[in-house]
Amino acid sequence: MITIGKLAKQCHVNVETIRYYQRIGLMRIPESHTSYRYYNEQDIETLSFIQKAKDAGLQLSEVQELLNLQLNDREQVRHVIEQRLEKIDQRIHELNALKSRLSTWVDECKTTSENSCPILKELKQ
């Protein structure tokens, strides 16, 4: 049994992060004992799960969904991850389009003989 400060330190997160996860229902709020709340091994595992899922690019809503699933819910887990992959692919497409537009602006800026900046002209249109 450890306190929230030790839990935060052990899992390399801020105490406020743990409190936030509790407020949104990702983690349980333990009972108070002598004005302290003590966390157990399951809490450490839950916090570790959340951090690993976030590191993998999952949104907290997706993490919540995964936390509610059982180990044998492979199809549902796969569905959550497939949906995330679709969102990532969409974002990659958007970023590639943005990169192309900005690259075009830079090329125009390098090659124009006009005194005015073509980038600013484009933005003001």
Radius of gyration of the chain (CA): 23
What was the pLDDT predicted at 121?
87
Phi, psi of 89 (to 5 degrees): -60, -40
Q: Which helix (H) or strand (E) holds 87?
A: helix 74-111
Taking only the tens place, the pLDDT of each residue in 84-93 is: 999 999 999 9
Q: Which residues contact 115 (CB under 8 A, 6 or more apart)?
A: none
CB 78 within 8 A of CB 51: no
What letter would DSSP give residue 25? T
What was the pLDDT predicted at 86?
96
The answer to whether residue 58 scores a pLDDT higher than 90 is yes
3-state class of 97 per DSSP?
helix
Best CA proximity match to 122, nearest among 25, 107, 86: 107
pTM of whole model > 0.85? no
